[in-house]
Amino acid sequence: MHRLTVSAPLVFRASTDRKTAPWIAWRKDGRGVPLANAFGLPAGPQFSCGGATAWCERVCYAANLERWPSVHALVMGNWSVYQSLKRSVPGLMDASRPMLDDLLADCERRGVDPVWRWFWDGDIPGRNFARAMRRLADEYPTVRFWCYTRSYDVVPLLAGADNLSVYLSVDEFNVDAAVVVKAANPWVGLACCGDSWDETEALAARFPDERRGPKCPELARRPNGERRIPLVVWSGKVGVGACVECGMCVDGVNNVRFAAA
């Protein structure tokens, strides 16, 4: 007698990210418990970051978070699923749908609008993943998707979805390429990244026909040293992440600047 084996479906796992969450439950330690509304893959050119630069490899906050065993296990699990399905756009979509269905259910239950951050860790790993992202935007029209990417070759594949905001992540090492990609894809946003705000202004100046873009308000400081928008904005015992409170990148309304210092 042959024993039948049933393989578990290959599915991606979502991450929780307080900065991007549309709903966060208060916790006594003040950190909060956010909805899972972000997706990550392991960072670095040996994994998903084919467009990595010397600057982003040096300052990558996500790679530091991967040192936590639970985070490492999650993104490496997603990487394994991607490796199994990377040749199949329908397969990548099937693996993503459970995350997005859970997001919709969670947001409906709490009465908030669904938003989804692609790649809080890592980057778009290939053209088929970009195709899957674009088709999922059509399939989930009530979800606001956004991402930042240094994988410039896939940008044209992401065009045309009103609910998908895409930003070129620009630094001193890829700005020349970004100028070319932006000229060919005028719809895409710019996220200028540097060690200081002055460096981000210099990068923005390379795009003279574009708005410079404000400082990310979660990183920018008021004269008293407080962040312009805190990581979590609380209303009683319910909070939202800074990205949702701001809405600029989520809705793709302007370019933006990020300083590491």
Where in the chain are the domains?
Answer: 15-172+230-246
Cα–Cα distance, 115 to 244 (Å, whole number): 8
Of the pLDDT bands very low, low, confident and very high (cuts 50, 70, 90), residue 8 is: low
The structure tokens listed for 73 are 């296990």
- The answer for 183, left when phi > 0, alpha when psi is -120 to 50, beta otherwise, is alpha
- Helix or strand run (H / E) with residue 59: helix 54-59
Q: Which of 177, 213, 210 is nearest to 192 (CA)?
A: 213
pLDDT at 28: 83
Cα–Cα distance, 155 to 60 (Å, whole number): 22
Query: What is this structure's pTM?
Result: 0.94
pLDDT at 199: 98
pLDDT in tens, 184-205: 999 999 999 999 999 999 999 9
- Does 219 score more than 80 pLDDT? yes
